[in-house]
Amino acid sequence: MPERESVLVTGAGATTPVGGDAAATWAALLAGKSGVRALTEEWAGGLPVHVAAGLAQEPTEELSRVEARKLDRVEQIALVAAREAWRDAGAPEADPVRIAVVIGTGTGGVLTTLGQDDVFERSGARKLSPHTVPMLMPNGPAAWVSMDLGAKGGARTPVSACASGAEALALGLDLIRAGRADVVVAGGVEACLHPFTLAAFAQMKALSPRADDPESVSRPFDTARSGFVMGEGGCVLVLERAGFARARGARVLGTLAGASVGSSADHITASDAAGQVAAIELALRDAGMGPRDIGHVHAHATSTPSGDLAEAAAVRQAVGDHAPVSATKSMTGHMLGASGALGALSALLTLRDGVAPAVRNLDELDPRVDLDVVRGENRTGRWDAALANSFGFGGHNVSLVLTGDR
C-alpha cells in the first residue's frame, strides 16, 4: 500500500468571546483573559443562569450591512472566521471542484427559528422574513462559506452537538485522504445565546448557577466547578493535501495527523469514559502513534462535575499522566459546536509556540483528576504532537491528533 499523504493546516480564522480573530484569541488565551460576563439584558432577568460568554467583536464589524441582514448570527460568524482562515492560507488557487467546505454546528440558526416564531405568533404568517429558511437551516453556514469562496467540492454539515467542529475537521481529513479534495475549509460555529436555550440547558443542570464574579465561574477540573458557561463563536481551519500545499509554497501551521469519530451508544447526555478511551486510542492508531508520542492534551473539559472526571479518567488510561493538559473553556466558556475546532487550533499553536495555556480559575485541583493539568502559569516546552478531545450530547466522541511543522 502506498504511503498516505499528509494533511497540512495552512490557515486559521476565529472569532470568540476573548478575541475578534485567531491571533487576538490566542494572545488572550495565553494571557489568561476571560470572555465570561454577567447577563444584564432585560430578557435575562428571570433566568436561573446569570453569566454567558458572548463574542468579543460583533460580526457586523467585518460584514456589510446588506449581507449581514440576510444571515443568521451563526452564518455571520462562519463567514468572518472562514474569510480570515482563507486569507491566512494565502487564498489557495485550486480547481473549485477540488475545494470542499465542512462547517459543523450544534444548533444552526436557532436564533432565527426562535425569533421568527415570535413574529409568527405575534403578527401572523405574512410578517415572516423571506430569508427565514436559509437563515435557520443548519447547513446555512457551510453553504454561505462555499458560495463566498466558490468552493464546489461539497458543502457539508456535521451536527454532533459539542463535537461538531472537531468532527468537521475529521471529515475534512477523510475527504483529502480519499482523494476527493485538495483543499478543505473546515471548522465549527455556534450562536445560541437566547433565554430559551439558556433556560433549557439550565433545566438539565448543565449550566453553572453561580452569579458572583462571572470571570471565575468556568473552572474545569477545579473542586468548586458547578457546570459550564454557554458561549458563542467560530473557528475555521484550512486543510490541504501536503503535495498541493508544498507545491504552492504554503506556510504551514502544522499537520492534522489523525482523527477518530466514535459513538458511545450509552446515554443521551452522560459522559462515557470507555467511549472516550476508544476514541483517543483510534485517533492515535490513525496517526500511527502511541500514547508516549503525545506531548500535550487540549481537554474538552467543560467544567461539569461528572464530565471533567470522565475525561480525566479516559486521558489517564489512553495517554497517561506525562502530557501537560490545557482547558481553554475556562476562558472562552463552552462554544458548543465551535469548541472542537478552537481546541484543535489551540493545540496547534501550543506546538508551534512551545507554550501551553494555563487553566484559569483552577484554585484547587480535584484530587480525582490524576493528570498534569497546567495551572498558575503557562507551561513552556517543546512538544511534537498533541491530542485535542471533543465530546457531545448523544455520545459523540471525537479525538484529533496534531503535529507541529518542524
- Angstrom distance (rounded) from CA 209 to CA 343: 25
Distance of CA 345 to the CA centre of its chain: 9
Sheet holding 233-241, edge to edge: 155-156, 99-105, 183-190, 233-241, 7-15, 254-263, 396-404, 385-392, 296-298, 324-326, 372-373
- Angstrom distance (rounded) from CA 108 to CA 150: 22
Has 131 been annotated as catalytic? no
94 C-beta neighbours (distance < 10 Å), count = 16
Active-site annotation holder among 194, 296, 334, 396: 334
3-state secondary structure of 186: strand
Contact 237, 9 (CB under 8 A): yes
Has 334 been annotated as catalytic? yes
Has 300 been annotated as catalytic? yes
Contact 263, 181 (CB under 8 A): no
Q: What Å distances lie between residue 342 and 19, 26, 254, 318, CA to CA?
A: 12, 10, 15, 22
Active-site annotation holder among 296, 298, 300, 396: 300
Residues in a beta bridge with 222: 365
Which grid coordinates are listed for 23? Answer: 491571533
Interior/surface letters 259-294, b for 16+ CB within 10 angstroms, e for the rest: bbbbbbeeeeeebbbebbbbbbbbbbebbebebebb
Active-site annotation holder among 50, 162, 235, 396: 162
Catalytic site residues?
A: 162, 300, 334
